A and B are shown apart, each in its own frame.
Chain A
Amino acid sequence: AQKVTQAQTEISVVEKEDVTLDCVYETRDTTYYLFWYKQPPSGELVFLIRRNSFDEQNEISGRYSWNFQKSTSSFNFTITASQVVDSAVYFCALKMNTGFQKLVFGTGTRLLVSP
């Protein structure tokens, strides 16, 4: 069965703190992709990153970084020096080779960054 777990329901930090959002996934497929989306208060979904199951290199984009560890089935997302504009709900999602292209989402982590 396929599943994405985001155990942290809500995280509150103060501006400039670093914060890590956890994502753990389950799949029997050997070929799959993992995604992170951001949902700001306005409600739309914004694509952040994708990672395929064969590429375990970490990635950094500005203040954002992602750590993919296949051994622990985790794809964690770190925001460095958080800002108020980072306040949003963040979703981790899984797309499998056998899944007809559908995304399986976690329940999301609400990040609140206060000034």
Chain B
Amino acid sequence: NAGVMQNPRHLVRRRGQEARLRCSPMKGHSHVYWYRQLPEEGLKFMVYLQKENIIDESGMPKERFSAEFPKEGPSILRIQQVVRGDSAAYFCASSPPVAQLSDEQFFGPGTRLTVL
């Protein structure tokens, strides 16, 4: 039973390029969460998605960042026109279909984005 998959594990982009981060939740999970971890800091919530719906995007920067979780395929976190401050580890987590408060979130290995 594969865990949460994220790719790529490491991504290097130059300023102004686009970054696409992919997340495949655990089998049977339909809730996906994205978190960002800046160097030497804790994880900060960005967005919570269910299939084809954004449920909570209160942690997403207003510009350049977008997320989707289509009916088929992985969830995508897209960062347009990256800047050096976007350099961070981006973690995806998933939880079962009937989300309960007690549910732990299962985390992927993260994507380390470096912006040159």
Interface residues of A (CB under 8 A from B): 6, 31-33, 35, 37, 42-45, 47, 50, 52, 91, 93, 95-97, 100-108
Residues of B within 8 A of A45 (CB): 43, 91, 93, 107
A110 to chain B: closest residue by CB = B40
User: Are B41's CB and A101's CB within 8 A?
Assistant: no
| Cβ–Cβ < 8 Å partners of B17 in chain A | none
Candidate in A93, A102, A103, A107 with the most chain B CB atoms within 10 angstroms: A102
A101 touches B107 (CB 8 A): no
| Total chain B interface residues with beta-carbon distance under 8 A | 28
User: Closest A-chain residue to B106, C-beta based?
Assistant: A47
Residue interface mask B54-67, A partner, CB < 8 A = 1: 01100100000000
The SS class assigned to the B binding surface is: strand
Decide: B107 and A44 in contact? CB cutoff 8 A: yes
Most buried by B among A35, A43, A101, A103: A101
Q: Do B42 and A103 touch (CB < 8 A)?
A: no
- Of the listed residues B43, B93, B103, B110, the one surrounded by the most CB atoms of chain A closer than 10 A to its CB is B43
